Amino acid sequence: MEKFIRKGTKITAPVPISSPRTTGLGGFEAPSSKGDTLRSDESNLNVGVLHLVPSLEVFPLLADPKTYEPNTIDLAEPNELQYWFTVLSEHLPDLVDKAVASEGGTDDARRRGDAFARAFSAHLARLMEEPAAYGKLRLANLLELREECLREFNFFDAYSTIKQRENEASLAVLPDLLMELDSMSEETRLLTLIEGVLAANIFDWETRLLTLILRKRDYLH
């Protein structure tokens, strides 16, 4: 992806392009091998067990792999496009705050955070006027574009501070939770685990309304 260009007080965002060394998806290098090995690239992302080099195998239960489209939200619909652009724009200040906090809240981090916000806003403004400016637009592409912008300004994990805090809090209560789960019947345990996964995902979505509710109830500080 080309570097963002600063002109005066404005930041313009050129059309992302991929070099021959990349897959074209987020600028990652093409995997050097298949199998259950960790991604080996130069993206500086914080990777874990979920970031495996893809085997590029077709999921066997797909009815028609050739026509399968993982994006269920069609941004070609003007109302959907406006809705998601509004959501991303309104969430931008909170994201900037988290990204800056992940870098220690320094003046340099704040400067980069403001630059990221202007750059991503420039992308959104362009796509609102010309949705096909970067090719076929899907919600996943829009979210990946936001991640590209964060990485462009050296924010490789905007949620690192929150992850560390939540991991510490979770580990503190994990022994009691495991004991509670062990005391349940198999059916009750399975239902409880599913409910827990769903609750965690809802929290992870970080919807604006959920954030406001949690802050009002003093769950977030």
Architecture of domain 5-52+70-152: Up-down Bundle (1.20)
Nearest to 152, CA basis, from 8, 62, 51, 27: 27
Please report where in the chains the tokens 């690192």 appear, as a residue. Answer: 160
Q: Where in the chain is the domain with CATH 1.20.1700.10?
A: 5-52+70-152
What are the tens digits of pLDDT across the range 13-57? 444 444 434 333 344 344 444 444 444 444 444 445 455 565 678
**Could you tell me the pTM of the whole model?**
0.62
User: Mean pLDDT highest for which of 27-31, 37-41, 70-74, 86-90?
Assistant: 86-90
